[in-house]
Structure 1
Amino acid sequence: MHALFLLIDAVLGLYQWVLILWVVMSWLVAFNVINTYQPFVRTVMHVLDALTRPLLNPIRRVVPVIGGIDISPLVLLLLVYFLRNFLRLDLYPMLAY
């Protein structure tokens, strides 16, 4: 059971970094710092989109765009953060004994 919690925690932690990387890459593309015509950048953005869009799209339907800024990645990042803390601090100690 301990290994399962560690695996879930590691996957959620990795997903947090994927989401942060997606946000940074999308800003760099939006401000023309990096060029999406480069195959490597296009591939990285495609992979990051494939990993983040399935969870961001339902949040985007509920959370409106505020002043032209999409805050759905922030909402998802907070949800993952709270889920990790719930698993670590509340659920795991209950099941460990």
Structure 2
Amino acid sequence: MSALIYALVQVIHTVINLYIWMIIIAAVLSFVQPNPANPTVRSLIFGLYRLTEPAFAWVRRKMPFVVVGGIDLSPIVILLALQFLDVFLLRLVFG
């Protein structure tokens, strides 16, 4: 296997894992409600919102049943899809 393909798959794996952590942090912050008066907290929340909300909105639009009793389960759907994609890609290339 060429080094280029190996490096490309490793970069994709790292990006998927970083996005998984961003989704987890965004989901936890939605429950915690940190103080938005702090500029650092505000920029962190705004940055995470801009990176994760498009994916959440897409899942909510395509699968309206993921909002159950006012609880949004779209982060779980995205996490499962990213985990599937990551394992599938790794097995496909290194399998």
**TM-score class, shorter:** 0.7 to 0.9
For structure 2, the 5+ residue unaligned runs are none
Find the counterpart in structure 2 of residue 7 from structure 1: 11
* Counterparts of 2:7 and 2:72, CA distance in 1: 36
Q: Where does 1:15-34 land on structure 2 (aligned, <5 Å)?
A: 15-29=19-33, 34=34
After TM superposition, the runs of 4+ consecutive aligned structure 1 residues lying more than 3 A away are: none
- Classify the secondary structure of the residue corresponding to 1:26: helix
Give the CA RMSD over aligned residues: 1.1
Note if contact 1:63-1:71 (Cα within 8 Å) is conserved in structure 2. Answer: no
* Counterparts of 1:46 and 1:52, CA distance in 2: 10
Aligned residues: 89
TM-score normalised over the length of structure 2: 0.87
TM-score normalised over the length of structure 1: 0.85
Q: Where does 1:1-97 land on structure 2 (aligned, <5 Å)?
A: 1-29=5-33, 34-64=34-64, 65-89=67-91, 91-93=92-94
More strand by share: 2
Instruction: Percent identity, please.
Output: 40
